[in-house]
């Protein structure tokens, strides 16, 4: 069930049987020569929808712009400041908790979001802890799951791509987007075949160290078929994680 395709009455009925909701979060940033700018948001969204279908869970609208300041050296990339993203997450969770939701399962597609999302959870918990005694704030639990760290995702990245998976513009994530949007598949030459690895600071530093946007990867190995294989294997892992989160 997609929240934005429900009526308020349908959400009210859902809350009578579950107070859990899935929130996909990604980023809008460059993904190398053949990766779509929306890769991280697309991946988070398609996994969230598939998990929602399998677990009969409500899925919130995707947070499609994340913390990606280091990608701003590439046209089309967008970012939120960490403080802005913390505020967005806090307001979304607070809005939904007012209606009775109290279990927030974030499915993430962008490594750059992790620190900020974790800080947002701390801010949410602090608001409850610092509220006056006798307050009527609901008890809230939040968790973050990076789809690319699911056991099946790690196993398949090794089996399919070996040492050419890398850490940004990976063939795994590009494959998932090609499966989701086959009409948007891109082809491009990779030079060198496998991009260098390394660290970075701001946008200018990133662009100078990784001129085509990739880090340690060869997304020329990506295919829609690989994307389907990855999705079919990873969704059950995420469903199990969601159900365990609700039950804990």
Residue range 174-180: mean pLDDT, rounded: 98
**Reported confidence tier of residue 131, pLDDT bands at 50, 70, 90:** confident
By mean pLDDT, which of 18-32, 133-147, 227-241 is the weakest? Answer: 133-147
Averaged confidence pLDDT in the chain:
97
Residue 161 and residue 208: Cα distance in Å, rounded? 26
pLDDT at residue 215, as a whole number = 98
Q: Domain range for residue 76?
A: 3-247
> Which tokens go with 192?
């060198």
**% of the chain with per-residue pLDDT over 90:** 95
Mapped onto helix, strand or coil, the DSSP state of residue 106 is strand
**Reported confidence tier of residue 133, pLDDT bands at 50, 70, 90:** confident
- Which residues touch 51 (CB under 8 Å, ≥6 apart)? 22, 57, 59, 107, 235, 238, 239, 242
> Is 137's pLDDT higher than 80?
no
How many domains are there within the chain? 1
**Reported confidence tier of residue 146, pLDDT bands at 50, 70, 90:** very high
CB 182 within 8 A of CB 51: no
CB 26 within 8 A of CB 77: no
Domain of 26, CATH number, reads 3.40.50.10310
Proportion of the chain in helix, strand, coil states, percent, rounded to 5: 50, 10, 35
Output DSSP code: residue 241.
Answer: H
Residue range 37-61: mean pLDDT, rounded: 98
pLDDT at residue 118, as a whole number = 98
The pTM of this model reads 0.96
> Which tokens go with 155?
């196993």
> Is 22's pLDDT higher than 90?
yes
CB 198 within 8 A of CB 178: no
Smallest CA-to-CA distance from 36 within 185, 240, 151 is with: 185
Residue range 97-111: mean pLDDT, rounded: 97
**Reported confidence tier of residue 134, pLDDT bands at 50, 70, 90:** low
By mean pLDDT, which of 89-93, 128-132, 203-207 is the weakest? Answer: 128-132
């Amino acid at each position: 069930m997609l929240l934005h395709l429900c009526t308020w009455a349908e959400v009210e009925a859902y809350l009578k049987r579950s107070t859990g909701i899935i929130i996909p979060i990604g980023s809008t940033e460059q993904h190398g020569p053949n990766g779509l700018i929306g890769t991280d948001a697309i991946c988070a969204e398609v996994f969230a929808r598939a998990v929602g279908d399998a677990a009969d869970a409500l899925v919130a609208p995707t947070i499609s712009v994340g913390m990606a300041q280091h990608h701003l050296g590439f046209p089309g990339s967008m970012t939120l400041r960490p403080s802005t993203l913390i505020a967005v997450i806090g307001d979304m969770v607070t809005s939904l908790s007012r209606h009775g939701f109290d279990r927030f399962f974030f499915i993430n597609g962008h490594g750059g979001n992790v620190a900020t999302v974790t800080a947002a959870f701390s801010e949410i918990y602090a608001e409850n802890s610092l509220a006056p005694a006798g307050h009527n704030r609901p008890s809230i639990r939040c968790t973050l799951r990076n789809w690319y760290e699911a056991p099946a995702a790690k196993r398949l990245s090794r089996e399919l791509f070996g040492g050419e998976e890398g850490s940004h513009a990976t063939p795994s994530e590009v494959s998932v987007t090609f499966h989701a949007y086959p009409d948007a598949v891109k082809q491009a030459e990779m030079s060198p075949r496998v991009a260098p690895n390394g660290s970075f600071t701001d946008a200018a530093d990133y662009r100078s160290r990784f001129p085509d946007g990739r880090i340690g990867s060869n997304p020329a190995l990506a295919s829609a078929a690989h994307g389907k294989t990855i999705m079919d294997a990873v969704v059950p892992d995420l469903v199990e994680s969601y159900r365990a989160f609700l039950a804990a």
